[in-house]
């Protein structure tokens, strides 16, 4: 028995999976449009992911972002029908997450807009949360696709989303099927100016 344990240790099988560096996460994250149907994600894994996402910053710590997770076959099928032309791209994703934000929280001080952006800060905070989601998902070995094409009214009905929330996106979560190429990015000097 001891010999078996030593062989197991020497083979490297006993080593825990090393987490990728932040740079590796950023470089390997892609918008994935084809998912491996053989690989599933558990509710426990989604809970771990979304717990990490709660660390995202928000205006005055208002935390306006909410997530509605489709993981059952019935809910997955229903959400797939509400993402327009993306349906064929996410057909094998084992999890679909509806991302919303509560209006009237971020960007307000004593009930009034703090500046000209107003409720746009809720969308900004939602984007920060979604950024944490896709990066943490990649760190956990998952892949994502953020979809802005969605039928918000029908999603609200499907998940009983309160009237004061705005649906921003549906995010597919799964494992990539194949390796996508790295897209060409704009030149650095086109997007950054130093003064």
Query: What residue spans of 11-119 are helical by DSSP H?
Result: 22-28, 43-53, 73-80, 87-90
> Is pLDDT of 8 > 50?
no
pLDDT tens digit string along 78-106?
999 999 999 999 999 999 999 999 999 99
pLDDT tens digit string along 55-85?
999 999 999 999 999 999 999 999 999 999 9
Measured distance CA(34)–CA(182) in Å, rounded: 15
Say how many C-beta atoms besides its own lie within 10 A of residue 150's C-beta.
19
pLDDT tens digit string along 23-51?
999 999 999 999 999 999 999 999 999 99
- Name the token pair of 33: 């449009």
> Is pLDDT of 10 > 70?
no
3-state secondary structure of 76: helix
CATH 2.70.98.10 fits 22-178, yes or no: no
> Is pLDDT of 3 > 50?
no
Measured distance CA(158)–CA(61) in Å, rounded: 28
Q: Name the pLDDT band for 4 (thresholds 50, 70, 90).
A: very low
Beta-carbon contacts of residue 154 (< 8 Å; ≥ 6 apart): 82
Give the pLDDT confidence score for residue 73 in this predicted structure: 97
3-state secondary structure of 69: strand
Measured distance CA(100)–CA(117) in Å, rounded: 18
- Name the token pair of 101: 């934000």
Domain boundaries, the chain: 22-178
Give the pLDDT confidence score for residue 13 in this predicted structure: 53
> Is pLDDT of 6 > 90?
no
pLDDT tens digit string along 19-29?
899 999 999 99
By DSSP bridging, strand 165-174 and strand 143-147 are antiparallel
Angle at 100 between CA 98 and CA 106, to 5 degrees: 160
Q: Name the pLDDT band for 11 (thresholds 50, 70, 90).
A: low
């Amino acid at each position: 028995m001891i010999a078996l344990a030593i062989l197991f240790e020497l083979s490297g099988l006993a080593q825990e999976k090393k987490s990728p560096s932040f740079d590796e996460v950023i470089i390997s994250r892609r918008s994935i449009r084809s998912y491996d149907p053989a690989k599933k994600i558990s509710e426990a894994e989604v809970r771990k992911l979304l717990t990490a996402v709660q660390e995202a910053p928000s205006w005055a710590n208002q935390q306006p972002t909410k997530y509605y997770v489709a993981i059952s076959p019935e809910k997955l099928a229903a959400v797939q029908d509400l993402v327009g032309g993306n349906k064929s791209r996410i057909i094998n994703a084992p999890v679909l997450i509806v991302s919303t934000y509560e209006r009237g929280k971020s960007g307000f001080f004593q009930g009034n807009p703090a500046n000209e952006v107003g409720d746009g800060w809720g969308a900004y905070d939602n984007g920060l949360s979604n950024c944490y989601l896709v990066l943490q998902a990649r760190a956990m070995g998952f892949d994502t696709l953020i979809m802005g094409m969605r039928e918000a009214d029908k999603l609200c009905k499907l998940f009983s989303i309160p009237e004061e929330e705005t649906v921003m996106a549906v995010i597919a979560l799964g494992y990539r099927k194949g390796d996508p190429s790295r897209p060409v990015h704009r030149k650095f000097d086109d997007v950054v100016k130093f003064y």
